[in-house]
Amino acid sequence: MLKRSSYLEQLAQAVRRSPITALLGPRQCGKTTLARMFGENRQAHYFDLESRADAQRLQNPELILGSLHGLAVLDEIQAMPSLFNALRVLVDRPENQARFLILGSASPEIVRKVSESLAGRIEFVELAGFDLEETGKQEWQKLWVRGGFPRSFLARSAEDSMKWREGFMRTFLERDIPQLGITIPAVSMRRFWTMLAHLHGQTWNATELGRSMGLSDKTVRSYLDILAGTYMVRQLQPWHENLKKRQVKAPKVYIRDSGILHSLLALPDQESLLGHPRLGASWEGFALEQVLRTIQPAEAYFWATYSGAELDLLFFHKGKRYGVECKFNEAPSITRSMRNAIDDLALDHLWILYPGNNSWQADKKVTVLPLADINGINALL
């Protein structure tokens, strides 16, 4: 297992600042492993709330948790939502000597309960799969094809990786979704997920997708919200500028993990990916996820007009505007669309991310950058 130093540092800072820290992310992204790494040199107590024995121990949570010192880790806390009120009572006691780290698969239930019970007492850390900083930039092709879920990336072979992803998706649909209290047939959600993969990187159109599935706009919207709420899908919102141009107002939709995307598209290896029509879209989604993980902007958008101008990613930093374009091209150049984005949005700088090895200054405000050297963005911020 790779040591996830940046996340360990985030946890250390969060636990120092707040009495309760929530580590949220999709199933199998490494939350439990990270929590155990974090507790190695600390006085830590672990409770797995999917374990019948641990759940039984916490039938009187104020008595058990109130006597603890150090760090108390509560894994899969959505299995016992009654604990949220107990935690609020405990951390408000002057004699409380514990810090609480709660883990859970991202779900509407967690967010709702936390917002109601623990406002002002909790800090969130969002965990995802491996990124380039963790795997090493020389592994970018493997990370792109297999995705960042630890067991998928670390599998012994491409076939083993693909098998793991298929099993993960089946379990997610047949067990994890129902555990959230959502009663949608697994077959219907799998079909929707697959159709979404074929629309990866495109603007959301509920009417078109609903018509294809024979469902209402409201129903397909609810399906999208479920996948977004469980970190399977990213909705990138549009940015609107005060221009005399018609601008796109619907979000773009991406499958967040590139390995899951490739499984949904039945692409088992890099060779099949390189010959697929969705190659460029796959690269765009993968590159965007790496950028967002690296720079961690407070807000991120895309921008597009109906006349054809478009920017894959727009973010703000210290009052300045920056843009990112993702091109699967050996020698990308500045396009008219990029120049329109620079002028219309008054960008301070634009990076073009591509799968090559060399970086160069294409223009005063434009840098061509290999994805493997993505930390070069932080150097300019």
pLDDT band at 183 (very low <50, low <70, confident <90, very high): confident
* pLDDT score of 241: 87
* pLDDT score of 77: 84
* pLDDT score of 108: 57
Beta strands 360-363; 366-370: pairing state: antiparallel
* pLDDT score of 18: 93
pLDDT in tens, 79-129: 788 888 889 999 999 888 899 999 987 665 666 667 677 888 899 999 999
End-to-end alpha-carbon separation of the chain, Å? 31
The CA distances from residue 156 to 152, 162, 165, in Å, are 9, 11, 13
CATH fold for the domain made of 5-126: Rossmann fold (3.40.50)
Q: What is the mean pLDDT of residues 319-344?
A: 95
Q: What is the mean pLDDT of residues 143-167?
A: 96
Best mean pLDDT range from 60-69, 155-164, 174-183: 155-164
Average pLDDT over the chain, rounded to whole?
Answer: 92
* pLDDT score of 194: 96
The CA distances from residue 112 to 107, 122, 125, 278, in Å, are 9, 13, 16, 36
Q: Is the pLDDT of residue 223 over 70?
A: yes
* pLDDT score of 358: 94
CB-CB contact of 357 with 140 (8 Å): no
| b/e code 50-87 from CB counts within 10 Å (16+ = b) | eeeebeeebeebeeebbebeebbbbbbbbbbeebbebb
Region for residue 296 given its phi and psi (left: phi exceeds 0; alpha: psi -120 to 50; beta: otherwise):
left
pLDDT band at 178 (very low <50, low <70, confident <90, very high): confident
- The domain ranges of the chain are 5-126, 132-380
* pLDDT score of 366: 96
pLDDT band at 1 (very low <50, low <70, confident <90, very high): low
Q: What is the mean pLDDT of residues 15-40?
A: 93
